[in-house]
Structure 1
Amino acid sequence: MSKYLLNKFLFTVDRDPDLVERYREQPQATVEWWEAEMAGALLNCHSGEATTWLRFDDDERAALTGHDYVRLFELGAHPFLTLTLFIAMFERDHAEPLTFQKEYARKLGHFALPYPDIAT
């Protein structure tokens, strides 16, 4: 597991409106593509690099493809990265302002200090 890789995925997808839409509509395909094509390139790795830190583990992949931001937080994804990305993807589905942000807070409300380690 690489929290850095997980956070890098969230960060890079959130910064590209086309990738946000792609991830919203086709999460599994987007995760597979990003892992295969972008992970090594963004991290300046030599072609053919095959270390485990360039691949998501099964738990990370399931959380990413399932848009499971609670599980991502449990795995150590940075909460600001998950919040900004998931706002971009799902805020439009809610009629009232801040409804998604309140849902996010409610779903993460069972966590108490100390929170999962988000250091990379």
Structure 2
Amino acid sequence: MSKYLIDKFLFTVDRDPDLVERYREDPRGTVDWWEAERANSILGCHSGEASTWLRFEDTEREALASHDYVRLFELGAHPFLTLTLFIAMFERDYDEPLAFQKEYGMRLQHFSLPYPDIAT
């Protein structure tokens, strides 16, 4: 499992409004495209710099493709990265202020300390 790669996906998608919308509308296609085109790029480097070995495991790919932030948390994705991205994608679907954040907390309430390790 690569918590680094999951967090890199969440981080890079969250920082690009077009990718946020693409991920909202076509999650599986976005995950597949990102894995093929962006997963091996090196953050903060010039284009052309890349590694060759990073790939999602099936469980990671499925959690990302199904917007399953509870499963992503179980896999060790950083909770702030999942929260900020999923707020950007889904907060607009709720009428009440902070409604998505409350749902996020409610869906994760079954976890107790210690939480899954979020170190990369």
TM-score range, shorter chain: over 0.9
Higher helix proportion: 1
Letter in 1 for 2:6: L
Structure 1 residues without counterparts, runs of 5 or longer: none
Structure 2 residues without counterparts, runs of 5 or longer: 44-48
Distance 1:76 1:40 in 2: 20
Moved over 3 A (4+): none
- 1:45 matched residue in structure 2: 50
- 1:5 matched residue in structure 2: 5
Letter in 2 for 1:72: L
TM superposition score normalised by structure 2: 0.93
- 1:68 matched residue in structure 2: 68
TM superposition score normalised by structure 1: 0.93
- 2:94 matched residue in structure 1: 94
- 1:55 matched residue in structure 2: 55
1:41 is paired with a residue whose SS is: coil
Q: Tell me how far 1:45 sits from its aligned partner.
A: 2.5
Q: Tell me how far 1:42 sits from its aligned partner.
A: 3.1
Distance 1:108 1:117 in 2: 15
Distance 2:68 2:29 in 1: 16
Task: Work out whether 1:27 is the aligned partner of 2:27.
Answer: yes
Tell me the number of residue pairs that the alignment of Structure 1 and Structure 2 aligns. Answer: 115
Distance 2:4 2:69 in 1: 16
Percent of matched pairs sharing the same residue: 76
- 1:80 matched residue in structure 2: 80
- 2:107 matched residue in structure 1: 107
Q: Tell me how far 1:34 sits from its aligned partner.
A: 0.4
